Chain A
Amino acid sequence: MPLENVILTTENCRYCLMCRHVCPVGHVTRRESLTPHGWALMIASVGRGLLAWDEETVQALYSCSDCGTCRAHCVTDQPLPEAIAAARADVAARDLAPAVVYETHRALKEWGNPYEQQSPAPVEGQGEVALFVGDEARYLWPDALEAALKLLKAVGVEPVLIGVGRNNGYLASSLGFPSTARDLAGETLSELEATGATRLLVLGPGDFFTFSQLYDERLGIEWPSGVVLEEVVTFLAERLREGALAFRKAADGTPCAYVDPTHSVRVTTRYDAPRALLEAVLPAPARELFWRRERAHPCGNVALQFTEPHIARHLTYSRLADAAGVGARLVVTEDAGSLSHLARHAERFGLRVQGLYELLADHLA
């Protein structure tokens, strides 16, 4: 994002309080400075010489979860998360970011992911349909991928896998390294091109947002015009509606809640699909969380897990507490990163975590 746009956005947001109520970080920290207008005022105040980027302010700058909830609620669509990412890029370029930011960046540059010291797997084969795996489904919750492939096979789709073990570029962008994000995006797009696919399936809304919006807005990369992007849940829900996919009802009646995964608020057309799929297997309707659909908070699998792990943990706690509060004993979601973060702390809230794809795959009719 060019500097003028950062300034314009933060000038707009710095005294606006209209989306503060949905900001998850504001919600868990209660600090006015860690809310949309707080960050905007902080960036604007650095510009005016009222604050300087020092250890304390930089830490605050890296406390935004880059979840997009503010923008999703903004009547005038102010790109505040993009402006915050751009301010981080400025800070990072001046060597002012916390050490952990550079460490994570180094891992992204070297391995393409922050989790394992392994390079992305090469792409094998060609086909009409490709599926982007990414790093979370490769390293944090591989069962989701396996189950999704089984479900796709059931409707006659056997996609070529791309980006196996590689971050989609969101993390580098969020941490303030747009050129690394661009490199990662470039590699993914080359792989996609090599497959010859005309449809790219993704496992969750984070990938969907990154490919459909972030590439263009933050990185200036155009999505290939001949390739349709679709989430696996949306694709499967459509097959279910057409009658091409059927499930057996699960026998287990444990009270269950569906958790909209991280970044859901950025893909507003997706809310009904996972619910329709879940309804097809659950013996009783899933419970709805308070923070759901267009107000769903992230589950912790954002850059904060590296920069401010205690805030990320509280985001996870908050989702779990919400689920426990509506009487659930089981939480279900499909996104690998969300699943892995929820599972780390679920027991503390008396909850069990289940992947949506796995649940569906186990109940294929």
Chain B
Amino acid sequence: MKRALFQAEMIRSELEEIVGPAFISVEESDKLVYSTDWSWMPQMWLDRGRPLRTPDYIVHPASAEEISEIMEIANKYRIPVVPWGGGSGTQGGALPIFGGILVDTKRLDKIIEIDEKSLTVTAQAGIIGTQLEWALNEKGLTLPHYPASANCATLGGYLAPRGTGTISTKYGKAEDLVLSMEVVLPTGEIIHTPPVPQHASGPDFFRLFLGAEGTFGIITEATMQVDYLPEARLLRAVLFDDLHNALEAGRLMMTRRLDPFVIRLYDPASTLTRVRKILGYDFDGAYMVLGFDGDPDIAALQEQKAMEICARLGARDLGREPGEAWWAHRYDFYYPPQNLKLPWMYGTTETVTTYDRIEAVYYAEKKAVEEGFADWNVRFIGHFSHWFHWGVMLYSRFIIEEPPADAREALRLHNRVWNAAMQAVMANGGMINEHHGVGLKLARYMRRQYGSAWPFLLRLKRMIDPNGIMNPGKVGFGF
């Protein structure tokens, strides 16, 4: 037996002792399925019949203690540990690009406590979003984080890349809903963050794990703030002739604190293509869905004030139906064959910035993509769907329907489009990402994005993960 093979068998046996024989796999079909997440790059690679780097071992631990023991083995043999929740990430964050141990967290799926007085839920991090939501709904509650990936993403996967959902405008991003967490550090220690996040008892270190995308450890449990299911959900749609006035309307609603749970503003290109295709509406302009929820009287008044703003800015009231239909079918956009799918090339270059810069970012990115890749008949579409008091997220996308057939050429073109988009975004004050995370895809922009703070982040990483085992190559760490 070759030495490497012998060592591989030793590691396998040690891992098996921890999780049990039913919860470790080295089978080829498993390895292939775990070699790609939901990002375009690996999917395209497999689509063109090319194999990817696979994990060496896939394990399904059932507790933080088991994960801690797995970390010990990884440190001993200096092999990577890659956390995997639902594998629905779009940035290649869960790709085992250097092999190693892939830790699927989905056996950590227990709901530990639903506190109906403080309105919190404590659950293990591998629970699938929709399952958690169903359990809360049985008690008239909801976790107000509604990403389109709720059916496939895990609670840990909501938090690790700092996800955003459909109703985050009112209720906050996943990171705003978390009170405390249990985390297994790369060194194997199991730590608990303080029970509540708002206090003045020292630095807010627990935020380090939000956005670390598994490079600082594995989140194994979280306590989240929940809400009562709203008594009323009012939806309505309006149509603006141009994006400028529509963005201004959204800004006014937010800065006047009208508290919409959703403002979904599609740019004219998206309105013409995606909205027409999925919802069947033939609108010419910028289609905006507005939603207000909670107490019916308050929601109605908020909606009335919002409609006054829209009317002043020249919007046409489309009534309730196109708002309610959007709400009912908001996830239909993601079902094949009507979603964006291979062999097309596409990327969601979403970003966030302040209101004074958002139009500049939008037009700069649009120009960079459309003019830079006109030869490829690229399409650029976008919507604005998460609004803050100070700015808004742009969910921009590029689509090339006939990319190169050769996998390497396709990947190069894909990276060039991303590069053009990200350079335009950063040059105009936008962030490289708002909610999908950095993963592998955006790792190369982290140095520029963070500037003088980047060496500090690198030092932190070295301190937390001295052997560099945790999810190497992601978030800009580990190369």
Contacts and interface: CB of A to CB of B under 8 A. Distances in A.
A32 B151 contact: no
B151 A18 contact: yes
A12 B336 contact: yes
Interface residue tally on B, bucketed by range? 35 or more
A31 B341 contact: no
Contact of B33 (A13, A41, A56, A75): A41
Interface string B337-352: 1110110000000000
Interface in A1-21: 12-13, 15-21
B29 A57 contact: yes
A229 interface: no
B20 to A, nearest CB: 12
Contacts of A290: 134-135, 138
A48 B49 CA distance: 5
A20 B33 contact: no
- Interface SS of chain B: helix, strand, loop or mixed? loop
B332 interface: yes
Interface in B6-52: 23, 25, 27-30, 32-34, 36, 38, 43, 46-47, 49, 51
A45 interface: yes
A233 to B, nearest CB: 25
Contacts, number: 100
Contacts of A75: 331-332, 335
Contacts of B131: 21
A49 B49 contact: yes
B30 A33 contact: yes
B151 A56 contact: no
Interface in A47-96: 48-51, 56-57, 60, 74-76, 78
A335 B357 CA distance: 63
A42 interface: yes
B29 A30 contact: no
Nearest to A19: B151
Interface in B64-94: 84, 86-88
B60 interface: yes
Contacts of A32: 30, 33-34, 84, 87, 104
Interface centre among B23, B49, B60, B152 (most CB of A within 10 A): B152
A30 B104 contact: yes
A74 B152 CA distance: 13
A20 B341 contact: no
Contacts of B43: 15
Contacts of A30: 23, 60, 104, 106-107
Most buried by B among A19, A22, A75, A290: A75
B152 A76 contact: no
Contacts of B46: 41, 45, 48, 50
A33 B86 contact: no
B245 interface: no
Contact of B128 (A21, A50, A74): A21
A128 B134 CA distance: 44
B130 interface: yes
B313 to A, nearest CB: 34
B51 A17 contact: no
Given A21-B152, A50-B51, A16 B336 contact: yes
Contacts of B60: 30-31
A13 B152 CA distance: 14
Nearest to B126: A30
A274 interface: no
A114 interface: no
A224 to B, nearest CB: 34
Contacts of B341: 12, 15
Contact of A42 (B29, B88, B342): B29
B335 A15 contact: no
B334 interface: yes
A75 B329 CA distance: 9
Given A31-B25, A290-B134, A42 B151 contact: no
A38 interface: yes
- The 10 A-B residue pairs with the shortest CB-CB distance, nearest first, are A17-B152, A12-B336, A33-B33, A48-B49, A75-B335, A21-B151, A21-B128, A33-B30, A38-B33, A33-B29
9 contacts: A15-B341, A32-B104, A51-B32, A57-B29, A75-B331, A75-B335, A76-B335, A76-B337, A290-B134
Interface of A: 12-13, 15-22, 30-33, 37-38, 41-42, 45, 48-51, 56-57, 60, 74-76, 78, 290, 295
